[in-house]
Amino acid sequence: MRLANADGRAAFLVDGRVHDLAELSGGALPSDPMAVVADHWEEARAWWARGTTGDGVAADVVHLRAPVPRPGAVFAVGINYRGHARETGAEVPELPAIFTKYQQSINGPCGDVVGPAGEDTVDYEAELAFVIGKAGRHIAESDALDHVAGYMAAQDISCRRVQRAAGNQFSMGKSYDSFCPLGPAIVSLDELPDPLDLAISCRVSGELLQDARTSDLIRNVPELIAFLSSVLTLQPGDVCLTGTPAGVGVARTPQRFLRDGDVIETEIEGVGRLRNRCVSC
Ligand code: ZN
């Protein structure tokens, strides 16, 4: 299943067209994408299996928003690809380095990224994000993928100056409004060739700057779910960004930060692509 948020309404995304889920189901399913993720996921999958009817609407003429607009938690992971650990000179931590991106930072797959005035160290980080579909505590790695509703492409946009100036606390530098583009849809794992090995890339204004595979993650999705759920109960709709591969702007020579007018294209194999323009970056 590919569940998108078409201008605030839950919709199936099929070949670049959106099909309104409430209409398709004759009102059996809610229009709120968050309610579908949290309470009606399996019913939605059953409707997906029946196939869509009608033409739908071209996705580029509706405003696609974040498929999970109001998650209870947005976790993110620092230093989770070896290439990124090397380029930043960071040690791989003993436990996953979890921080949060606050809900206010959530942005859609085509939304503008708004750089804060006067900041010239705004950076891109292409990431695979997973969405929890089934609640759980103390989830075993072997059961972890059963708790995942699906994947999204994500950007962990980061103001490096604010991130670094706060010591070991990253969250504010990564939580400016618009700093967490997600989408284009929540893609269930049965749509993917191998959920643990997908190509991930980031282009900025056409230049390929990150190019890796999620099989290079130091802690892949099952291990992250086992760790997170050893601490707290994961709830349906919770989102986790799994870390970024090598190639971020701050670690390049010369450094390459985002500028006004840059277009960030973030792509995950089988999941889809985000296209976000930078405004006053
Ligand atoms: Zn990140």
104 pLDDT band, cuts 50/70/90, is very high
Q: Please state, in angstroms and rounded to a whole number, the distance separating the CA atoms of residues 26 and 154.
A: 32
Instruction: Give the per-residue pLDDT at 261.
Output: 97
Question: Which domain-ending residue is among 65, 89, 110?
Answer: 65
In the reported structure, the alpha carbon of residue 249 is separated from the centroid of ligand 1 by a whole-number distance in angstroms of 12
Q: Do 182 and 54 reside in the same domain of the chain?
A: no
Instruction: Give the per-residue pLDDT at 168.
Output: 81
Instruction: Give the per-residue pLDDT at 52.
Output: 86
In the reported structure, the alpha carbon of residue 23 is separated from the centroid of ligand 1 by a whole-number distance in angstroms of 37
What residues make up the domain containing 87? 74-280
159 pLDDT band, cuts 50/70/90, is very high
Total domains, the chain: 2
Q: Do 229 and 169 reside in the same domain of the chain?
A: yes
Instruction: Give the per-residue pLDDT at 118.
Output: 93
Residue 147 pLDDT exceeds 80: yes
In the reported structure, the alpha carbon of residue 79 is separated from the centroid of ligand 1 by a whole-number distance in angstroms of 8
In the reported structure, the alpha carbon of residue 186 is separated from the centroid of ligand 1 by a whole-number distance in angstroms of 19
63 pLDDT band, cuts 50/70/90, is very high
Instruction: Report yes or no: 263 and 241 within 8 Å, Cβ to Cβ.
Output: no
Question: Which domain-ending residue is among 17, 32, 65?
Answer: 65
Mean pLDDT over residues 82-108, rounded?
A: 95
Instruction: Give the per-residue pLDDT at 150.
Output: 98
Q: Do 143 and 7 reside in the same domain of the chain?
A: no
Q: Please state, in angstroms and rounded to a whole number, the distance separating the CA atoms of residues 37 and 135.
A: 12
In the reported structure, the alpha carbon of residue 155 is separated from the centroid of ligand 1 by a whole-number distance in angstroms of 8
